[in-house]
Amino acid sequence: MALRRLDLRGFTGDRRELAALLPRPVDEQDRSSDAVAAIIAEVRAGGDEALRACTARFDHVDIDELRVPADEIRAALDRIPPALQEALDVAHDRILAYHSHEADEVPDDFESGGVTVRHLVRPVVRAGCYAPGGRARYPSTVLMCAVPAHVAGVEEIVLCVPPGPDGRVDDATLAAAAVAGVAEVYRVGGAQAIAAMAYGTESIGAVDVIVGPGNRYVAEAKRQVSGVVGVASAFAGPSEVVVIAGPDTPPEYAAIDLVVQAEHGPDGLAWLVTWSEGLVDAVDAAVDRIVAESPRRVDLEATLDAGGWAVLVDGPKQAAAVSNVVAPEHLELLTKQADSILAHIQSAGAVFLGTNAPASMGDYLAGPNHVLPTNRTARFASALRVDDFRKHIHAVRLDDEAVRTLGPHVVTLAETEGLPAHAESVRLRWQE
């Protein structure tokens, strides 16, 4: 079978023109999205019974107990051939050694048994930044998105911002773009901006990564295009804060910091978690006073009515447990016990320690990024960082002895998986 050819000799176009010429994999997303959505909905509603039904429908087998018993897992080691067990052990140990090296963030080469692995770090070529607009302006978000992209070495940075009522982007946002060296700014917002950056239009070239916070429509659009482009910081959406406070916490501090997050708009979350019932009463009174005096009173009341909570717990450790379940975007430990509570924190976008560290400092100039994971995605995601704009590539080299020593194990594993060409590609080399 002859390979299809594409002759690009003499090509002088730019990257976008080259991308248009090159064959692309068949995009199965449109074909499969409805089917996948139906399966997900079925499993969410039906649980184990839905899993059994799907297994029967797609895999043509009826399963009663979904989990494989532990003794069956252990017994499998005795049932496989000794050569396969040895190959699995060698593979396990080598994978463990490399990733342990990687976890130490050591930038030098990894060498083991004649195998050398170089660690290459490369930036994406084109990054898309989204800054909310409309009722507010966020020049700080422009800086938070563009600066780490520049540090990563991104060549092209795109900014999308919703236009104001006059059709313009406000000067503060444009000035931040100028300070951050953003050359492309487009006055388009919402889910449509995410779609434009993901797929490209006549005016806006497609990007490799999309970053930046937005409302729930922006967050959902980012979720849907994830996989077409990289989506950093776990779909940062409406703002959230959990304030853990004790009897020593000034009520005014807790109250104003709850209002701070509600100030960002609808669908937000503002939780007070405390083991002091008296503090709840004092914070309630302070919040009422602050909201009543605010020029954004209507917005604050709407957000706090839907997403404002006070949670009473038995003590600091239980407060940390509540916070870990919520996995908030911002977590404030407004108590002298902040450091001891921090030891129990597992999931949060950013943590602010003590009464001198309100989340507002992190929003602007503490240094770390204010684009943070929301909607409980801090369980697995982190703040926007330089690495969100970079890829890690490993480059592998083997010497002759490594091929002779490791090759037989590769052949064993490949043949076990029913991939004879994989086995032969290694066998050819060690036999040479």
Q: Per the residue annotation, which of 105, 220, 277, 329 is the catalytic one?
A: 329
Closest Cα partner for 382 from 194, 148, 107, 167?
Answer: 148
Q: How far apart are CA 153 and CA 390, in angstroms?
A: 8
Burial bucket for residue 99 (CB in 10 Å: 0-12, 13-18, 19+)? exposed
In angstroms, what is the C-alpha Rg of the chain?
27
b/e string for 256-286 if b means 16 or more Cβ within 10 A? bbbbbbbbbbebbbbbbbbbbeebbebbeeb
Edge-to-edge, what's the strand order for the sheet holding 269-274? Answer: 308-312, 269-274, 240-245, 330-334, 350-353
Task: Please give the structure tokens belonging to residue 134.
Answer: 């409309």
Phi and psi at residue 109, to the nearest 5°: -65, 155
d(CA 278, CA 257): 18
Paired tokens of 3: 């390979």
Residues near 333 by Cβ (< 8 Å), separated by ≥ 6? Answer: 244, 341, 342, 351, 352, 353, 354
From 264, 330, 370, 409, the catalytic residue: 330
Closest CA to 211 of 145, 269, 163, 261: 145
**99 assigned to active site:** no
Structural contact between residues 388 and 382, judged by C-beta atoms closer than 8 angstroms = no
DSSP string, 321-356: HHHHHH--SEEEEESTTHHHHHTT----SEEEESTT
Which one-letter amino acid corresponds to residue 400?
D
Contact 150, 157 (CB under 8 A): yes
Q: In what order do the strands lie in the sheet with 209-211?
A: 184-186, 156-160, 126-130, 209-211, 230-231
Tell me the residue ranges of DSSP E strands in 213-252.
230-231, 240-245
> 139-152 vs 171-180: helix axis angle to the nearest 10?
20
Q: Determine whether 329 is an active site residue.
A: yes
Catalytically active residues, by annotation: 329-330
